[in-house]
Amino acid sequence: MECIRRGGLIEVPMGITIHQIVHEIGGGVTPGRTFKAVQIGGPSGGCVPASLAQTPVDYESLAAVGAIMGSGGLVVLDDRDCMVDIARYFLSFTQAESCGKCTFCRVGTKRMLEILTRLTEGKGRPNDLDTLEQLAHDVHSGSLCGLGQTAPNPVLSTLKYFREEYEAHLRGHCPAGKCRALIHYRITDTCNGCTRCAVACPVGAIPFTPYQLHTIDQSKCTKCDVCVQSCPLNCVVVESGPVVAIHEEATA
């Protein structure tokens, strides 16, 4: 998130498109990244994928694509933003704010959050997506107030437009490289052994080996990203998928 070049408070006429806001006014996303989606309406809102960027910003058009205007908050997301994590983030907010009176919101949002948390930790179970989707509809239908009725929106809209991302998480893969349990950092062989990453690493996960290819000890790595930022040759990459599989590929 926070990848839009020119963020801030804008006043625009109704009917302006998402594309115009993101690219003409906002200046697009950080160079090197790809615009993925916008989240409109905060925790009660929904996401609109880049493919629907021609959608005009007005009440009916947004409702037609599964989003809401809300209070006018618009968050721009790029390829390094994980839609499953976004849904989890918003649901953690609504779940904490639930007053606890009605069954569907009190327990339903908690269960949805548990499923989303499991997915981001790579502990998803085979029927989690169906349970999550059905529960989202039930919570929307059975909740007493607007909080419970709209809490499932981020879940339902991300499931609608980015289901393959959810399915990747079931397989232990975070395509955006965001979910910590599902990613690992790796130094590629363009490394020249300058040792800057070893010096910068706050937990000592990179042994100091001057002039040699540096390696990251996965058992110590906290995925803080400092090595990526310290490397002058951009040879630290973030990869997703079980670490075991990567090693098997390397030795094959």
Partner 1 sequence: MPRALIDNRPVEVPHGATILDAARLLHIDIPTLCHLKDFAPFTSCMVCLVKIDGKERLAPACATKVVDGMTIESETPEVRRARRVALELLLSEHAGDCSAPCQHVCPAHMNINEMLRLIAAKEFHRAAEVVKRDIPFPATLGRICPELCEKGCRRADLDGAVSICRLKRFVGDTDLATHHPYLPAKADPTGKRIAIIGAGPTGLSAAWFLALAGHAVDIYDARSHVGGALRSDISPALLPVEILDAETALLPRLGVNFILNKKLSSTTEAHSAEITLPDLQSHYDAILMALGPIDPATLRTFGLETLGKGIKIERDTFRTNLPRVYAAGAIVTPYRYAVRAVADGHAAAKSIDASLRCAEREPAQFSMRLGALPKVELVVLAEQASSEPRTPTVPDRDLTVEQAIKEASRCIQCGCSKGDDCLLRHYSTQYEVNSNHYRGERRPLERINTHPDILYEPGKCISCGRCVAIASRAGELWGLSMTRRGFAVKVLPSLGRSLQAALQKSAPDVIAACPTAALAWRRKI
Strands (DSSP E) contained in the chain are 35-40, 46-49, 74-78, 183-187, 236-240
Binding-residue total with partner 1 (CB under 8 A):
24
Check binding of 110 to partner 1 (CB under 8 A): yes
Rounded to a whole number of angstroms, the minimum distance from the CB of residue 121 to partner 1 is 14
Rounded to a whole number of angstroms, the minimum distance from the CB of residue 171 to partner 1 is 22
What x/- string results for residues 18 through 47 when contact with partner 1 is judged by CB under 8 A?
------------------------------
- Rounded to whole angstroms, the Cα distance separating 185 from 227 reads 9
The answer to whether 157 touches 43, Cβ cutoff 8 Å, is: no
Per the DSSP assignment, residues forming a β-bridge with 195 are: none
Rule CB under 8 A: choose which of 68, 102, 200, 226 binds partner 1: 102
Map the footprint of partner 1 across residues 131-150, applying CB under 8 A. 131, 135, 138, 140-142, 144, 149
Considering the complex, state which of residue 79 and residue 114 has its C-beta at the smaller distance from partner 1. Answer: 114
Check binding of 95 to partner 1 (CB under 8 A): yes
Residue with tokens 């493919």: 51
- Sign of the torsion angle spanned by Cα atoms 191, 196, 201, 205: positive
The answer to whether 138 touches 109, Cβ cutoff 8 Å, is: no
Token pair of 88 as six digits: 């989890």
For partner 1, the binding residues (CB under 8 A) are 95-104, 106-108, 110-111, 114, 131, 135, 138, 140-142, 144, 149
